[in-house]
Structure 1
């Protein structure tokens, strides 16, 4: 019987080709519009990037210049090494003082850079020497020396303390800062090219320029005419000016950005993208018929097969020339089998869960323990032990109240420990001084959540199988937190000095085998293990062992939970 997915209209390949052609034309137009906006936005972002980068650099330059100025003011007035040079009686005493002074200046250059060169002149002695490594050739050094030694200046003019001026030497511009104090002249010089050097890494395009100018000499690199011509000639050029009045620097910075050459790769990429769209459209047009016959039809047949499987709930044979569809068909059949298996496993798991809950209820009720408590109270009443009856009644009341109110998956650790104290108080009245109990707990984890009756079950097992009137048993419980595999966990260690686990029971516990007997013994331990597995799956561990000197040891590790929740996996 043939079934239909729904009413539909058949179309010719020509129709689908036209639809595809219209879609491709639309994609082409959208691509061109997006390309235009991309270039525009890229240009704007480029300008913002250049502005931000240069502003950061200018701020850094201002800090360096300020540092140089403050260093020079202090040095020219207070440096004791300069005083030593002035006091030198002959040339034999100068080299050591000069070396020490150069070391002092070199240390300062670590904060500003080697491009800031320093020179010291002593006018009375007619000394002039470099105070830092020279970044120029010897002829330039001599010209610098002649320039400053021949320069007449007023001494201690306040406006000169923070002034940087420019000079031209062999078609190369420098900025310098000069301070005179009494017999001393201290000078810092930096080449304009060195100031611009860090900015050369910015992509300004083939015709982009960086130019420095000041009020004293005008343009110190390039020329005003070249910048103006480029500004008028190229419509794709942006021109930025950082005025010295705004920056606080002793110069202005003029920047021109040639966007076309700087981002020609982007433009070429956009053109290639448009061309690729056209080529892909043509290829898709020719392969439309082939795609329909060889791929679409088999997929429709496969879909129909799946529909038949869903309707009939039975396997349907399917064959196709496409290997992937054959593989998908086999995987789908396997998936159906897995679903059936999962349904069966789910029902079995639910049944097991109900069984565990029933066992837990059995563990809670414990009629024999209840009767034992009542019998003990009756015996105490006959002997007039009214003080003990009061303790027994309160502890028993608290114990059973906790049992009947414990219907959750988790309780706070502090509540479980209080319940254990109530249980042991009852056992103390029943067994007198036949055992001692000590607990060590981290205060920070008392609010942590643990499964109810987990600890009490193992303590009860010790009392039942190890405590006797012949020998006092020591029970030790240690609870602390630990980071295991990048996750916080709670470690519970319970030890006693009794006879330990019987060999057969210990072997079964270590082999993860059930140890419940026909008469119901050890149901508590099985119940705890099953509940831990149900709550934490594989995210817990429990280890049983006998202590070589005598006694048993149980160590449990569970995830740390701040509140009742499922453990994340």
Structure 2
């Protein structure tokens, strides 16, 4: 069975100390951590702004070069006579001559546009392609691009129409290309550039040893980069309106600028560790202090627990035991602060004085209870004494010397037992002998009007009970039930009841008299002294008081009327054979 979680009071010193410590340290640590992250955010903003400006500048230069090449293409389409001749030649010779002149024109123009790798003119009707390349373009690349252009323009004219308004990105072979195509009649005039060509100036961008710049498509697909990307999971689909962090560990700063001339963007990727390596030393100091404070917090709790809370817990544990009634416990000596040692010594001294005072009071209470018990026992004796003298007087009048002798012997036995009545307990055997002797005296007093039957098991003979317990109720029965009009039977049944949680001795006293009146029963059940028209029922109250003193509330007396008549008294005593 698992241990239960201890309940901590909100008003306890432990709770207040812990909350106070947390109220001071947690805001301080939070402020330091926030300051550190704020500094990181400021550096990110500065680096992102600087990189954004630089990328925007280079993207603007590239757009300007592409725009110049676009204007040249539009100029050729709108004002070049040779282009018009190729579109609508009068003869094949005129087409060939116009094609030659256009080739010369494009050859001169290609030198002027550094951002363009090739110009071309494609005749849809003749399936003829004219193109002019820079010297850096290899034959394999030239052949690959020519085949793509012919397939693209001859096999899918819809795509050709889609590229009429701006430069567009196309993957050809292993590389990406930006193409611009302008349609004029049956001719397509265009230019293309390898993305690697546009990337050459970007090598001059200082993004650090680990940073890289690259072109990406409008779908966020990387085309070409100055350096390999540090993480292949970088996301370029979030747009470049503002900077953001990406990568598998979210440690890459991404900035970019979309092109105004085509469906591509220029982006920069800068690792976070490269950005933060130039942070001021205060950032590292703040971070060190923050983590040190977090690490020292448990140590502070342990120190607080050992110096303050442990002594308090020991003091509280002793107080709880004292609250349970163990006034003899003391706080053991252990190493502690001077203040707690003074408190412990004073507390132990005070408890020793309280214990001694409690012992004195307890002994005084015992003496008082013993005196009260003896007084209650002796309080019963005058009733019988007066009745006995009356019996002897009556026998002397009739000169019945035999009964006077028997009566005198019974009285001797009776008073011999009464002289021992200052005892707290007597055996059940002695009590019953005394009861039988008492009943015989009463039978002599009421000849033929009283019979008494006593039934008790032999194994209960040595059980201790309070003296004069049974006689008191027999005396009440004889006093209130016996008359000269009809005989009265009294029975005393004693047995051991083991059905409850603890065994008890049951003593049941019944008579065949008229029983208790309702008023008397009410008073008896309320625990009050009973006063009726005849006399005060002092015996029942005395017995109940004696049992309360002797058994501390574990004994019980109940009185009721039997059926069809008569009084019944049930007494239950704890079974304590060792007492």
What TM-score results when the alignment is normalised by the length of structure 2? 0.39
Larger Rg: 2
